[in-house]
Every structure is written in structure tokens, then in C-alpha cells.
Amino acid sequence: MPESSPNVAVVTPSRVTSSRDTPSRQTLESAVVRFSGDSGDGMQITGGQFMLATAVAQNNLSTFPDYPSEIRAPIGTTFGVSAFQINFGSRVIKTAGDNFDVLVAMNPAALKVELNGLKPGGIILLDTGSFQDRNIHRANYATDPRTDGSLDAYRVIELDISKLTLDAVAGLGLSKEKGLSKKEALRCKNFWALGFVYWMFDRLRTPTVNWLKTKFAKRPEIADANIAALNAGHALAETMEVSDGLNSFSVAKAPNIEPGVYRTITGAEAMAWGLAVGAKLADLRLVFCSYPITPASPVLHALSNMVEHDIVTFQAEDEIAAICAAIGASYAGSLGVTSSSGPGIALKGEALGLAVSTEQPLVVINTQRAGPSTGLPTKTEQSDLLQALYGRNGECPLVVIAARAPGDCFNVAIEASKIATKYMTPVMVLSDGYIGNASEPWLIPDIDQLEKFPINLHKEGEYFDSTLRDEVTLARPWAIPGTPNLEHHIGGLEKSYETGEISSDPENHQKMTDIRAAKINGVVRDIPDQHVESGAASGKLVIVGWGSTYGPISRAVNNLQEAGVDVSHVHVRHIWPLPQNLGDLLAGFEHILVPEMNSGQFVKVLRDQYLLDAKGLNKMTGQPFKIVELENAIRAHLEAAK
């Protein structure tokens, strides 16, 4: 990044050049850092900036923002702790990492909550300025953890970051009169800590400096204060390396990264952009109807900020109104999309049936969260799979696809738009809180190179003649209001196969039920055969995953394969209909293990569909699987199978 260095040099010219040449850095293949503090400490921004700097350093990376559902919980409490974890390295990174190498703890509560996740011998950066007795007690510590021996297993860096930040900002000569209060100055302490960690991992400050200047363009004194704090933290770390033997590390560029233009992307952004692109490829206007709900709202926000691409977003009065408006929009010739999380999807159930019965193209996004009921709104789970497949009254089949990673949401959203318009059916896309919030580097595609799938509106002749159903897809014709001579009635009452008008004829209901099921089953012709992600195509044990468990499963399986274990990995994207060859493929393994963040939902489907003795491996803590958990469970499974 030679073009970036001069900018940094402007900030602290003397330090940059010398630091780049320091030979004493310890080389790491990968590292995990967790920033943790109070909800008001800006940990998500801090982590986001570290991610940016790490992307610029061309490491592979994966992040996990882990924040409470309270917007501002009481200061200093354990339930107000907000954290951001990042795993980065010169090798392929598939998860945000199990345990962390470095913990930045901005207060006692953060230390209390996070210490369990730190590797033995790991580094803790503590802001002692927040370790007053009151805060220590508020974090439910009986004694000061710094002096009672509970940190003996770690390398602890104790600094009064609060005071150091105030000192750094004071150096700028910014007084209250000049527009910066002490409170605002103190708020820069997260950037002080960031500067310190930047030194430890040899990250460039330029992207962060530029970000601050843009973000606070209207209040340059705040940008300057944060930049001063960032530089002060960085400078102290450099000094400490020499005087106190502070560890510093170097994580090399990841090799074999596909060339091209990259950015970081969250699952929510990728989903929004995929929907916008999907509508464009179908040559339809996107009408996105949603009701705010954690953790799905970022998709609504992203699309609302893109109306210049002929996108209409509608914040409805409730979940039901949102899906019904999307249905109305599709009926009138747009691509109707609705998005929510589990509780909202539950409310949409009846209307989903209406979309199935009236055969409307519709995309439904479920960014799953931990349930039941309100559950853990900000925590992740995969427990809406059976809801997606079966959670409606009557025989009500639809297509279900699951995204496996943040960037994958883009592809899944496009595929959902294509299937929905080709087959005239609702398509449910399963994402989850982890995928939605997590970010990863993303090779930006060229939209002009993507295959278009323009829809064919029906414009002539009589409307609902059964012969008009597409012979291959069984899709009904799409005739939209405004088209002369095709006036027709449509609704949730059973329709005559011949005319489309109301029919309560018994034989007709059987026929329509069969047709609706056959149409969805037929989507299989547009689904690629199931491939094996890694390992042999038959053998001792296959691990079958879907959705966001892709990362930890593939890493765990790769680790075991390297250790000589006979294990394969199959990742299923198309939940319904399932790929044609899946049953045969799985039957080629002696044992089938299905890890899921639920109590065993996909494993039920596999057992039901293929009469296979698949076993579940289940976790419902609101947290993603750890690689080591999976490795241990797989080993135990093999042991028990002997």
C-alpha cells in the first residue's frame, strides 16, 4: 500500500517509517482479537475500523459483532457489554474464531464477561481508568480481578487509557470553548485503544484517519481529537515495545486471493444489494416492504438508501401489512419482497399461504434469531427451518434457500428472485443474525456480466385457461392489472384448474393441491446436484450442514482431515426442494452427522426424506459453533461408532 503511507506520515511522520522496518515482530498465521466494552464505548466502530485496516493489509478475515439487545443498558453492567471479534490471517479464514489471542477490555464488566474466551497466555489490554471500586462491584466482582490472582494465566497490559486519552486530546489545545467537552474528549478512548492494537498488529492508520475526517466533517475538532487519541495509543505501544517488551505481531498477506476489487460486506448489505440486482436482472421494479425487527432491519435501511435505482421501500404498520403489500406489489407487476426475523415470519404465515394459493412471485427473507417468542433478539440461531418448510395452514409448499456467509447473501437473493419469478411462487431465504451482522471481504462482481432473467408478462388472450400453465415449470401466467382483456379474479379461495374462478369441487382441490406441490418439486431442475464440499464422496462419516454453520464446519472438517480422520463435508444450500442426488450421496456414508444451531430440524427433514440414520449435533446458546466444539464432537461421534 505505498500510496497510503504519505497520508499517515503527515500525522506522525517520524514513527511510521521506523515502525515498518522493525524486525522483531512475531509472525502469526492468524490471530483473533476481541474488542469489548460498555455499549456506549463504541466497540462496534472500533472493531469495524480494525476490520477495515486488516482488509487493507490483505489478510483474510471474518468478524462477529456481539452486542446486547438493550440500546443503552446501565453503564458498567455485564449485560451492557458490547463486543466485536475479528479473526484474520494469511490462511483461509472461515469463522470469527473460537478463542481470542487478544482481549481489549474497556471496563471491569467487559473483563468479567469475556475472560473465559481468552486463550491461556493471551494478552489483555485493560483500561485501569475504569477500574474504580464502583465499577468493579457493578461487574459483580467481589475483589479487584487485577490483584486477586484471577489474571495470572494471562499477559496483562494495564494502562489508564482514560487519562492517556485526555492527555492526548489536551495536547491539541481544544478546550470546551473551542467546541470539545471533557466528555467528548474521554469518548475518544476507544480510538486510543485501537491505535495501540494497530501497533501490535502492524496495521495502517490511514483508512481510519480518513474515515474519521469524513464522518466528522462537520465537527473537525472531534475528528482531530480521535486522530490524536489513535496516534497516542499507537505511539505508546511503540515505546513500550522497546522499553517493556510488548509483543508485536506480523500477519502476512493471504496468498491465492482471487484478483479483483474487494470491499468488506455484511450479510444485510449483501442481501439488500442482491435483491436490487435480482430485480434489475428480472427487469422489474423492486418493492420492498418490511417492519422493523432485530436483526433484519439493516436490509430495510440499505434499500431505503438506494431509491435512485427505482426501488420502493415501504415501512409498514406491522409484519402482516408488510407481506400483504409485497403480495399486492407482485400482483401489480413488481418484484414484491418482505423481510423479517422469526417472530415476524410467524405473523406473516397466513399471507404466505395467500401467496402460495394465488401463485405470486414473492421473496421472503428470514434473518433468524434465537427463539422461541422474543427469545434473544440479537443472538443467532437456525431454529426457523421447520417454520420455513411447514409453518403454515394447509398444504402450502414453497421454495427455501439458505445463505452460508455474508457475501453469499448476494447470490442467494438473486437466485431467490429468479426462482420466484420463473415459477410464480414465494421463495423463503434463510439467513441469520450471525450472517446478517458479520462481515467479510467480498470480491465485487460486475453486474453487467450477470445473466439476465427477464420475466414474460402475459398480455394476450383469455386469462386462466389451464393450458396456459407452463408445460415444464407449471407456473401460471402473470397477467397484471392494466392489461386489456385479461381482467380476472384471484384470491385465497380454491380456484378451478380450468378457469381460475372459485371452485369447491373435491376433485379439483386434489388436482390443485397436487399441481402446487409438483410445481415446487419441479424447481429441482434449476438446482445443481449436491457436491461434496471436502473429502471423499463416500466413506465413514459425512458432516452435513446448512446456513451459517458453513464456516466452522468446513474448518473443523479440514483440521480433522489433516489429522488423518476419514470425514467429508456436505453443505446444503437448497433446503426445499432438496437437490435430486442428495439422498443417494448421503447413503454412501456409514455415518451422517448434522450440526445445527437448533434442536435438530434439518436432521428431521433428512431422516424423513431419505430414511437415513442421520444424527444431530445441536447447540442453542445464541452463539455460533466453535471449531474446537465441532472437532471434539466429531471425534466423540466416531469413537462411539466404533
Partner 1 sequence: MTDTMTDTMTVSATETKLTAKDFVSDQEVRWCPGCGDYAILKAVQRTLADVEAKTENTVFVSGIGCASRFPYYMKTYGFHGIHGRAPSIATGIKLANPDLDVWVVSGDGDALSIGGNHFVHLLRRNVDVQFLLFNNEIYGLTKGQFSPTSRVGTRSPSTPHGSIENPLSATLVALGSGAHFVARGVDSAQKQLIATLTRAHAFKGTSFVEIFQNCIVFNDGIFSAFTAKDKAPDKQIYVEHGKPLLFGKDHTQGLRIKPGTLSLEAVVIGEQGITKDDVLLHNETDRALAALLADMNGDTLPIAIGVLYCKPGHIFEVEIRKMVQREISETTNSLNDVLRAGHTWTVPKEPE
Chosen residue from 144, 501, 514, 590 binding partner 1 by CB under 8 A: 501
Binding map of partner 1 across residues 151-190, x = CB under 8 A, - = no contact: ----------------------------------------
Between strands 439-443 and 539-546, the pairing is unpaired
Chosen residue from 346, 480, 565, 628 binding partner 1 by CB under 8 A: 480
Q: Is 455 an interacting residue with respect to partner 1 (CB under 8 A)?
A: no
Q: Is 391 an interacting residue with respect to partner 1 (CB under 8 A)?
A: no
The residue with cell 432491519 is 297
Helix, coil or strand: residue 383: coil
Q: Is 58 an interacting residue with respect to partner 1 (CB under 8 A)?
A: yes
The residue with cell 415459477 is 423
Give the cell for residue 270: 449483501
Q: Is 212 an interacting residue with respect to partner 1 (CB under 8 A)?
A: no
Give the cell for residue 577: 426442494
Task: Please tell me the distance from the alpha carbon of residue 298 to that of residue 268, in angstroms, as a whole number.
Answer: 6
Binding residues among 296-325 for partner 1 as defined by CB under 8 A:
306-312, 314, 316-318, 320-322, 324-325
Q: Is the peptide bond before 372 cis (omega within 30 degrees of 0)?
A: yes
Q: Is 500 an interacting residue with respect to partner 1 (CB under 8 A)?
A: no
Which of 110/365 has CB closer to partner 1? Answer: 365
Q: Is 3 an interacting residue with respect to partner 1 (CB under 8 A)?
A: no
Binding residues among 258-297 for partner 1 as defined by CB under 8 A:
258-264, 273, 276-277, 280, 285, 287, 289
Task: Please tell me the distance from the alpha carbon of residue 145 to that of residue 585, in angstroms, as a whole number.
Answer: 53
Helix, coil or strand: residue 196: helix
Give the cell for residue 127: 483500561
Stretch that binds partner 1, among 139-147, 218-226, 347-355, 508-516 (CB under 8 A): 347-355
Which of 277/560 has CB closer to partner 1? Answer: 277
Chosen residue from 9, 11, 170, 257 binding partner 1 by CB under 8 A: 257
Nearest to 117 by CA among 628, 636, 640: 628
Min dist. Cβ of residue 213 to partner 1 (A): 13
Q: Is 409 an interacting residue with respect to partner 1 (CB under 8 A)?
A: no
Q: Is 579 an interacting residue with respect to partner 1 (CB under 8 A)?
A: no
Across-strand partners of 576? 400
Q: Is 93 an interacting residue with respect to partner 1 (CB under 8 A)?
A: no
Radius of gyration of the chain (CA): 27
Nearest to 234 by CA among 10, 34, 11: 11
Which of 492/579 has CB closer to partner 1? Answer: 492
Tell me the number of residues near partner 1 by CB under 8 A: 74
Which of 416/486 has CB closer to partner 1? Answer: 486
Contact 178, 221 (CB under 8 A): yes
Q: Is 215 an interacting residue with respect to partner 1 (CB under 8 A)?
A: no
Which of 289/475 has CB closer to partner 1? Answer: 289
Specify the DSSP class assigned to residue 548: G
Dihedral of the alpha carbons of 58, 60, 66, 72, in degrees to the nearest 10: 10
Min dist. Cβ of residue 626 to partner 1 (A): 29
Cα separations in angstroms, 486 against 283, 327, 406, 498: 22, 19, 42, 15
Chosen residue from 244, 446, 460, 507 binding partner 1 by CB under 8 A: 446
Q: Is 461 an interacting residue with respect to partner 1 (CB under 8 A)?
A: no
Q: Is 475 an interacting residue with respect to partner 1 (CB under 8 A)?
A: no
Q: Is 517 an interacting residue with respect to partner 1 (CB under 8 A)?
A: no
Min dist. Cβ of residue 294 to partner 1 (A): 21
Question: Strand (E) positions, 128-244?
Answer: 155-159
Across-strand partners of 534? 569
Stretch that binds partner 1, among 67-75, 141-149, 474-482, 504-512 (CB under 8 A): 474-482
Q: Is 334 an interacting residue with respect to partner 1 (CB under 8 A)?
A: yes
Q: Is 488 an interacting residue with respect to partner 1 (CB under 8 A)?
A: yes
Q: Is 525 an interacting residue with respect to partner 1 (CB under 8 A)?
A: no
Binding map of partner 1 across residues 580-619, x = CB under 8 A, - = no contact: ----------------------------------------
Nearest to 126 by CA among 98, 141, 146, 140: 146
Contact 35, 233 (CB under 8 A): no
3 state SS for 322-341? HHHHHHHHHHCCCEEEEEEC
Contact 122, 155 (CB under 8 A): yes
Amino acid code (one letter) for 92: V
Q: Is 216 an interacting residue with respect to partner 1 (CB under 8 A)?
A: no
Task: Please tell me the distance from the alpha carbon of residue 567 to that of residue 102, in angstroms, as a whole number.
Answer: 32
Chosen residue from 113, 293, 299, 354 binding partner 1 by CB under 8 A: 354
Stretch that binds partner 1, among 31-39, 80-88, 195-203, 446-454 (CB under 8 A): 446-454
